[in-house]
Amino acid sequence: MTMDELRALPVSIDLVTAGRAFGLGRTKAFELAQAGEFPCAVLMVGKRYRVPRSALLEALGIDRSAIHQPNPAA
Beta strands (DSSP E) in the chain are 12-14, 43-45, 48-52
pTM for this predicted structure: 0.81
> Is-contact 40 49, C-beta < 8 A?
no
Q: Max Cα separation, the chain?
A: 41
Amino acid at 5: E
Phi/psi at 52 (5° precision): -65, 135
For the ranges 8-12, 45-49, 67-71, which has the lowest average pLDDT?
67-71
* 29-51 residue pLDDT tens: 999 999 999 999 999 999 999 99
Phi/psi-derived region of residue 45, left when phi > 0, alpha when psi is between -120 and 50, beta in every other case? beta
Which residue ranges make up each domain of the chain? 23-74
